[in-house]
Amino acid sequence: MPSMPQAVVFDMDGLLFDTEALYRDAMLTTAQALGQIMPLSLYLATIGLSGEATRQSLSRHFGADFDLDGFWRQASATFHTLTTTELRLKPGVVELIDLLEDLGIPFAIATSSEHHDVERNLGLHGLFDRFPVVVAHGDYQLGKPHPEPFLTAARRLDVPPELCLALEDSHNGVRSASSAGMMTIMVPDLLAATEEIRSLCVNVAAHLGQVHHALLNHSRGAHAPA
């Protein structure tokens, strides 16, 4: 990181929680049950997008005669069933939150998901009270890759975007955070960092533990004697 951030903005799906794989499995399984072929590449292209944008992408692929509402309901039901037993917290999340609280650095979530999904996920892992600032679908007009979700988070944190660190796992999320002017670190989940995405990031971390290490080193350097 070029400097110590004054705030941190987390994505949720694929960054805090291992949900992208569950969404993938739910969609591919539902498509197969309905006698449709859904290429993995189609799902991967929707990562980080809002539900509305994802529906538009699916509609273009399956055609106007496809029962998109029925597909969406069935895939959503399958996903929620999976979360009851398979929703996992990403390694290093709690330790990173602990460090930010110790350092007095405020943090928030900026996600394309609905507020009730955020509340469910945080609640299942006892983290609901640790994220007082959540920016989710409905809090902005334009979703990722537009910068508005991250700009909204910065405004609610009362920290200029250029002094915020954004943590993202998706290409669309990185584009959103970078265009908001934030220092951006990608922590890849289902998508690898491309040359374009690397150019938008200050770094690419293999896991959140590396972000924890970088912040800890920065904090120690800031308090080192001159």
Ordered by start, the domain boundaries in the chain are: 7-18+88-222, 20-86
Rounded Cα gap, residues 176 and 143, in angstroms: 8
User: Is 117 known to be catalytic?
Assistant: no
pLDDT at 223 over 80: no
| DSSP bridge partners of 166 | 9, 184
Kindly report, residue by residue over 106-161, the tens digit of the pLDDT. 999 999 999 999 999 999 999 999 999 999 999 999 999 999 999 999 999 999 99
Among 13, 117, 169, 189, the active-site one is: 13
Secondary-structure class of domain 20-86 per CATH: mainly alpha
pLDDT at 50 over 90: no
Q: How many residues does the chain have?
A: 226
The maximal CA–CA distance of the chain, rounded, in angstroms, is 69
For the domain 7-18+88-222, what is the CATH code? 3.40.50.1000
Same fold, 7-18+88-222 and 20-86: no
pLDDT at residue 51 in the model: 86
Helix or strand holding residue 183 (H, E) = strand 183-186
pLDDT at residue 225 in the model: 45
As a whole number, mean pLDDT of residues 178-205 equals 97
Kindly report, residue by residue over 1-34, the tens digit of the pLDDT. 889 999 999 999 999 999 999 999 999 999 999 9
The answer to whether the CB of 193 falls within 8 A of the CB of 80 is no
User: Is 13 known to be catalytic?
Assistant: yes
Among 11, 117, 169, 189, the active-site one is: 11
For the chain, percent of residues with pLDDT exceeding 90: 90
- Please state the pTM of the whole predicted model: 0.91
The answer to whether the CB of 109 falls within 8 A of the CB of 16 is yes
